[in-house]
């Protein structure tokens, strides 16, 4: 079978983001003493708590160390969202990667994490996530239904 270079590139970014997310998930689960922590709503709340409590310390590390934290947190955030709604990762210039949801909406987890780290509560990943869920409900046209992976 002949593979398109685009498919190889897509598979590589998808695998890389999922590996980073898994590594961060394992670290976060140990830190929160919750071995059952998985990507999804619970994982997103754990990440939000971490950023809220330790964000200043993470930013204080500076340079490459802060960047490693941001990338790991962003990959895990992306997996929390992808697990709930589906989607595929793609390369995205200075953001490293984005997540294209099944409705072709693109989100950039790095921006979400950086927003909370620099902007506080108004730009929190939790607020961004709630806005995403609300907008997806609105797009579905069914106010009483929470979208899931098959929507």
Integer Cα distance of 120 and 111 in angstroms: 13
pLDDT (tens digit, 9 = 90+) per residue, 1-39? 333 445 556 678 889 999 999 998 888 888 878 777 889
Mean pLDDT over 108-130 rounds to: 88
Helix (H) or strand (E) holding 99, with range, is strand 96-100
Closest by Cα among 32, 128, 30 to 74:
128
What is residue 31's predicted lDDT score, i.e. its pLDDT?
A: 81
- What the block records as the tokens of 44 is 């997103």
- For 91, list phi and psi in degrees, rounded to 5: -70, 145
pLDDT (tens digit, 9 = 90+) per residue, 42-52? 899 989 999 99
Residue 78 clears pLDDT 80, i.e. is over it: yes
pTM across the whole model: 0.81
The distance of Cα 87 from the centroid of its chain, to the nearest Å, equals 12
- For 104, list phi and psi in degrees, rounded to 5: 70, 10
Contact 122, 40 (CB under 8 A): no
């Amino acid at each position: 079978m002949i593979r398109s270079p685009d498919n190889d590139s897509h598979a590589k970014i998808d695998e890389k983001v999922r590996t980073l997310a898994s590594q961060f998930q394992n670290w976060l689960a140990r830190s929160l003493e919750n071995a059952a922590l998985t990507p999804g709503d619970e994982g997103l709340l754990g990440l939000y708590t971490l950023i809220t409590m330790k964000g200043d310390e993470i930013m204080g590390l500076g340079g490459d160390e802060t960047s490693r934290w941001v990338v790991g947190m962003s990959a895990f955030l992306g997996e929390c969202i992808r697990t709930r709604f589906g989607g595929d990762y793609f390369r995205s210039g200075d953001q490293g990667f984005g997540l294209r949801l099944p409705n072709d909406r693109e989100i950039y987890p790095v921006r979400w994490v950086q927003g909370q780290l620099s902007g506080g509560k108004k730009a929190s990943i939790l607020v961004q996530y709630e806005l995403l869920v609300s907008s997806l409900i609105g797009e579905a046209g069914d106010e009483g239904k929470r979208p899931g992976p098959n929507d």
